Amino acid sequence: MQVEYAAAKSSICRQCGRYFSPFAPKTALKLRAKEEAPTAATPENSSIFHRFEGFWKRRRSSVIECFECKRKQQVCGAATSTICPGCSAHIDLRDYKITSGFSRTIRTRGDVHLTAKGDLSSSSVNCRSALIEGQLRGNLHCDTATINFSGRIPGRLSGRHLIVNRKADIHCFRQVRVGSIEIKGKMSGEIIAQMVTVYKKGSLEGKVTARAISVEKGGMFSGELVIGQPDLIQGELLPGQKPGAASVAGLDISGEAPQPLPAT
């Protein structure tokens, strides 16, 4: 031991000549280890639910389709990307949650969540499923889309299934091409679909071309309706293709002469 000045920052040992800091906390490492130990063992991180959730995410698998060659493959649920075994194209598997302005193109086999404060101005969004609660300015194509937003949608909507929730009130400027659509809120625009369903308290206004339509008691449809066409096939639901003029204006129900059917 040796006596040092209280304000000294460093000193030299009089016995061995080594440099040292006389007032450095020697137990700092032990204190940090004790402070970090409870955090690692918090109930939230060690709960059975979180352990099971992580295990299930690692074990879960899904079948995805290549954007380029349409070849399908099975991937692990924890993967964020993969390579197509057929054409070697890169496939994004990430989920996107948009909480502010976003303008990049999205092409993923994951999910997209556009929150109420989000503003998605991408020219194209292609995903597995989408939840739209904010402003959508670009085109959206996905397997399943849920709209929970009130306002105008200038882009094109397409996919297998579209749901317009009860709180939604949207006006679509471009054609909506889907396999089926469920309208529980309010919607206006032009729809080409296999099946259109307007639920109780739902409202649809515009032009509809479909194989079948169902309007529940309490629901409302107003506009032009072309229904029951045998040649309205899935290929006509793809973007960039339009039904022929004769088929769009025709109606084939119970063998009567084709004619447009307005409905209110």
- Each domain of the chain, given as residue ranges in start order, spans 48-93, 95-239
Give the per-residue pLDDT at 79: 85
Both tokens of 252, joined, read 């084939």
Contact 199, 219 (CB under 8 A): yes
SS3 146: strand
Instruction: Provide CB contacts within 8 A for 187, sequence distance 6+.
Output: 164, 168, 169, 170, 171, 172, 202, 203, 204, 205, 206
Give the per-residue pLDDT at 252: 37
Q: Would you say the pTM of this structure is higher than 0.85?
A: no
CA distances from 242 to 36, 177, 209 (A): 63, 10, 11
Give the per-residue pLDDT at 60: 73
Q: Is 157 left (phi over 0), alpha (psi -120 to 50) or beta?
A: beta
SS3 126: strand
Output b/e per residue, 6-19; b: 16+ Cβ within 10 A: eeeeeeeeeeeeee
Q: Which of 116, 263, 150, 115 is nearest to 198 (CA)?
A: 263
Side chain identity at 119, as an amino acid letter?
Answer: D
Both tokens of 110, joined, read 């994951």
Give the per-residue pLDDT at 234: 46
Contact 190, 202 (CB under 8 A): no
| pLDDT (tens place) for every residue of the chain, 264 residues total | 666 656 555 666 766 666 566 655 444 444 343 333 444 445 555 556 555 555 555 557 888 889 889 888 888 878 888 899 889 899 999 999 999 999 999 999 999 999 999 999 988 999 999 999 999 998 999 999 999 999 999 999 999 999 999 999 999 999 999 999 999 999 999 999 999 999 999 999 999 999 999 999 999 999 999 987 645 544 444 444 444 433 333 333 333 444 444 444
